[in-house]
Amino acid sequence: MLTRIDLRGSALPGVRELAGLLPRAATDIDSVLATVRPLCEDVRVRGAQAVREITARLDGVDLADFAVPQQAIDAALAGVDPAVRAALEEAIARVRKVHADQRRTDVTTDVVPGGTVTERWLPVRRVGLYVPGGLAPLLSSVVMNVVPAQIAGVASIAVASPPQRDHGGLPDPGVLAACALLGVSEVYAVGGAQAIAVFGYGAGSCEPVDMVTGPGNVYVTAAKRLLRGLIGIDSEAGPTEVAILADDTADPVHVAADLISQAEHDPLAGAVLVTTSEGLADAVLDLVPGQVAATKHSDRITTALEGSQSGIVLVDDVDAGLRVVDAYAAEHLEIQTRDAREVAMRVRNAGAVFVGAWSPVSLGDYIAGSNHVLPTGGCARHSSGLSVQSFLRGIHVVEYDERALADVAGHIDALAGAEDLPAHAAAVRARQRA
């Protein structure tokens, strides 16, 4: 459990080579495209009937109409555990508070007298938000997807989540309750790749969307890849992962618990400890079996921790540790070192950074106010997590008067000539007075 990689005592390799040495879950999206492509095409061609047949075959639920009735959404909220409702309400309030500060404002730049460029920020018209419901019904994902879309000003929001046989073919009641609290009334009991196809092509009462966000399994990810271009997507999410950068000041009980909590998501989840302390590594290895045995999903967690995607990396010092975690570019990165905030501010690549002993990933998963829809598989090197900005498009509005255009006509002429596009220059000359 948790294989060791010892990088001490010699110079670290370059970023690419280093990234290749580190534990990482392998996800082969291409391998499922042959399954997902005909499924999506079937939804495109046959619509709701195809969805009904696919859902019956894959989920064991035969739904004449996969749209969730409003009374079912209302009933889920009425029946939700009061403690869960209170937690959801607090999560919504905190996520709204953080994301409200992300809203962009229009800016007009006076380039020259009589010439301006205004950047307008306009929301996507309609979005489809996917909420997983396989190994765990992620009702918290409803909050993380819906809140930034609402703050961005998206006018039309639909949610899809897999039907549950234990709940009469409806999505998980907690998912429905979260939708109710957020005022989302358009919910569909459909999961997997077929849900993405419903959003992309439209089926039944669901009109096509312009963008799809939310995590999912490899089939969901493959469908997002297939439909990208027809729809916008947030990312091609892979298995979840956590990296912890720790020194000898870290509490091994905390570190072990945090590795286990992330492994709880999925047998493919990655849990990586990068540490300067062999003593900490030994203590964590000693603690993990007992903590795993005491938790509910011990088989799933054991599979994740014993997989090639998980391990302990020993480094000489914190500087080397920072190089390692930047090469890994974790979805979630915890810093449990001396001067943790200072170390955290030096991190360049991570979906989200959790600073110190009292900021575990579980906090961010639910109620810190941050967003938990984050880049995986090293994509934090170039991509951000879900935010209000994800649902906005910047549009440049160009307005020059006659004099301002005349002043640059010569430059346009020169550049159009250099590109052998004379009609570009002619379009300007046509506006010049004799």
In this structure, the answer to whether residues 219 and 343 fall within a common structural domain is no
In this structure, the answer to whether residues 58 and 131 fall within a common structural domain is yes
Buried-exposed string 29-43: b where 16+ CB fall within 10 A, e elsewhere:
beebbeebeebbebb
Q: Residue 94: its pLDDT value, please?
A: 98
Confirm or deny that 265 is annotated as ligand binding: yes
Torsional sign, CA 149, 150, 153, 154 = positive
Q: Which secondary structure element, helix H or strand E, spans residue 109, and what is its range?
A: strand 107-112
Q: Report pLDDT digits (tens) over 307-323.
A: 999 999 999 999 999 99
Confirm or deny that 262 is annotated as ligand binding: yes
Q: What percent of the chain has pLDDT over 90?
A: 88
In this structure, the answer to whether residues 82 and 70 fall within a common structural domain is yes
**Looking at 317-425, which runs of residues are DSSP E strands?**
332-336, 352-355, 392-400
| Boundary of a domain, candidates 212, 235, 258 | 235
| Boundary of a domain, candidates 169, 202, 235 | 235
* Residue of 216, 310, 308 lying closest to 258 (CA atoms): 310
Distance CA 190, CA 40 (A): 13
Q: Which secondary structure element, helix H or strand E, spans residue 431, and what is its range?
A: none
Q: How many domains does the chain have?
A: 3
Confirm or deny that 400 is annotated as ligand binding: no
In this structure, the answer to whether residues 277 and 140 fall within a common structural domain is no
Kindly state whether residue 392 falls inside one of the protein's structural domains: no
Angle 84-86-92 (CA atoms, 0-180°, nearest 5)?
100
Confirm or deny that 130 is annotated as ligand binding: yes
Q: Residue 36: its pLDDT value, please?
A: 95
Kindly state whether residue 383 falls inside one of the protein's structural domains: no
| Boundary of a domain, candidates 218, 235, 252 | 235
Q: Residue 24: its pLDDT value, please?
A: 86
Buried-exposed string 223-240: b where 16+ CB fall within 10 A, e elsewhere:
bbbbbeeebbbbbbbbbb
In this structure, the answer to whether residues 183 and 264 fall within a common structural domain is no
In this structure, the answer to whether residues 243 and 226 fall within a common structural domain is no
Kindly state whether residue 389 falls inside one of the protein's structural domains: no
The boundaries of the domain holding residue 423 are 401-430
Confirm or deny that 99 is annotated as ligand binding: no
Confirm or deny that 240 is annotated as ligand binding: yes
In this structure, the answer to whether residues 259 and 198 fall within a common structural domain is no
Active site residues: 331-332
In this structure, the answer to whether residues 163 and 249 fall within a common structural domain is no
Q: Residue 260: its pLDDT value, please?
A: 97
Per-residue confidence at 136, pLDDT binned at 50, 70, 90?
confident
Q: Is 265 in contact with 136 (CB distance < 8 Å)?
A: yes
Question: Residue 195: left (phi > 0), alpha (psi -120 to 50), or beta?
Answer: alpha
In this structure, the answer to whether residues 157 and 222 fall within a common structural domain is yes
Q: Residue 11: its pLDDT value, please?
A: 87
In this structure, the answer to whether residues 167 and 47 fall within a common structural domain is yes
In this structure, the answer to whether residues 166 and 42 fall within a common structural domain is yes
> Which are the contacts of 374, defined by CB distance < 8 A and separation ≥ 6?
331, 332, 351, 352, 380, 385, 386
In this structure, the answer to whether residues 186 and 100 fall within a common structural domain is yes
CA 77 to chain centre: 26
Q: Report pLDDT digits (tens) over 232-284.
A: 999 888 889 999 999 999 999 999 999 999 999 989 999 999 999 999 999 99
Q: Residue 353: its pLDDT value, please?
A: 98
Q: Give the CATH number, domain containing residue 181.
A: 3.40.50.1980
Kindly state whether residue 249 falls inside one of the protein's structural domains: yes
Torsional sign, CA 208, 214, 219, 223 = positive
